[in-house]
Structure 1
Amino acid sequence: MTVIYILNGPNLNLLGQREPEVYGHDTLASIEAMCRAKAKGLGLDIVFRQTNIEGELVNHIHEAREKAKGLVINAGAYTHTSVALHDAVKAVGLPTIEVHLSNVYKREAFRHHSYLSPVAEGVICGFGPQSYELALEGLAAILKKKGKA
């Protein structure tokens, strides 16, 4: 089965509690369950992880190079600050979809810049938890087109 890594960055472990007016009431566990169901329907298997530590995200991306065919990443605030994540995604060369629950372009100006977007196949933001499902659909289509699914 085709494996996809879904990686989540800082503070996403607080989903459902943190700023529900921005991020909604779904927990990361409920998003993981939704992703597992969606992935199964697409013939994919997922590895779903969250960390608040930038270097751990880099390590997960490196691990995916050997074990996965693609990445979905919600790097949280690291999206806007991390050259290290940019370099890691670029180095592993896996098709990557950047995801955000909120529409970052309706928020503070500092959130309008992403270090990941230049090395991602696509960006999905503003659809809440459905952003992850859309990312999985997009990644499945990309892999199928490349003959890697």
Structure 2
Amino acid sequence: MTQSIRVLHVDDDSSIADLTAAFLQREDDRFTVETATNADKGLGIIRNHPPDCVVSDYEMPGLNGIEFLQAVREQYPDLPFILYTGKGSETVASDAIAADVTDYLQKSSGSEQYELLANRIRNAVHARREAERADRQEQLMRLTEF
């Protein structure tokens, strides 16, 4: 049985958020995508029911995508976070890397971008789940050594 993947997509343009959610869910039936139109709403959703991956725009009112990432990292340091933005620049990418972003993807035209985004989400979630599984195995090994 394959595990579902809960994705939170935060974008101040609700039509883009809804379109992205629809394409992602069509791309992979394991995806359940919830949307929020700003970082504060996104943080509330994360606190109530942490997703498997966050996808966020950069330019938003209130907290921008990097500030949102930093707020998420304070409580959820290992939660996969993909900055998915139309405002691509070396400065934004550098700031995102410094803030420990999982992945960075620039929005483009065409439906191929959603296939790429879906792949990045799957890879990020898989890597986190494998790391968690390895941590549990290591803890079990330590317990059985006594």
TM-score range, shorter chain: 0.5 to 0.7
Q: Flag structure 1 segments of 5+ consecutive residues without an equivalent.
A: 16-26, 107-111
Shift of 1:55: 1.8
- Which SS does the other structure have where 1:49 is aligned? strand
Distance 2:22 2:107 in 1: 20
Question: Could you say which residue in structure 2 is the equivalent of 1:9?
Answer: 11
Question: Could you say which residue in structure 2 is the equivalent of 1:97?
Answer: 82
What is the percent sequence identity of the aligned residues?
Answer: 11
Question: Could you say which residue in structure 2 is the equivalent of 1:23?
Answer: none
Inter-CA distance 34–126: structure 2 relative to 1 (3 Å threshold):
closer
Shift of 1:125: 0.5
- Asked whether the 8 Å contact 2:8–2:42 carries over to 1, the reply is no
Question: Could you say which residue in structure 2 is the equivalent of 1:123?
Answer: 104
Question: Could you say which residue in structure 2 is the equivalent of 1:48?
Answer: 34
- Asked whether the 8 Å contact 1:8–1:51 carries over to 2, the reply is yes
Q: In the alignment, does 2:71 pair up with 1:87?
A: yes
Q: If the length of structure 1 is used for normalisation, what is the TM-score? A: 0.62
One-letter amino acid matched to 1:61 = I
Q: In the alignment, does 2:92 pair up with 1:113?
A: yes
Q: If the length of structure 2 is used for normalisation, what is the TM-score? A: 0.63
Which protein, 1 or 2, shows the higher relative CO under an 8 Å CA cutoff with sep ≥ 6? Answer: 1
Deviations 1:95-125 (A, max 9, x none): 121111x25229xxxxx33655422211001
- Which SS does the other structure have where 1:59 is aligned? helix
Q: Which has the higher Rg, Structure 1 or Structure 2?
A: 2
Inter-CA distance 60–76: structure 2 relative to 1 (3 Å threshold):
farther
Inter-CA distance 87–138: structure 2 relative to 1 (3 Å threshold):
same
Shift of 1:46: 1.6
Match of 1:69 among 16, 27, 52: 52
One-letter amino acid matched to 2:92 = H
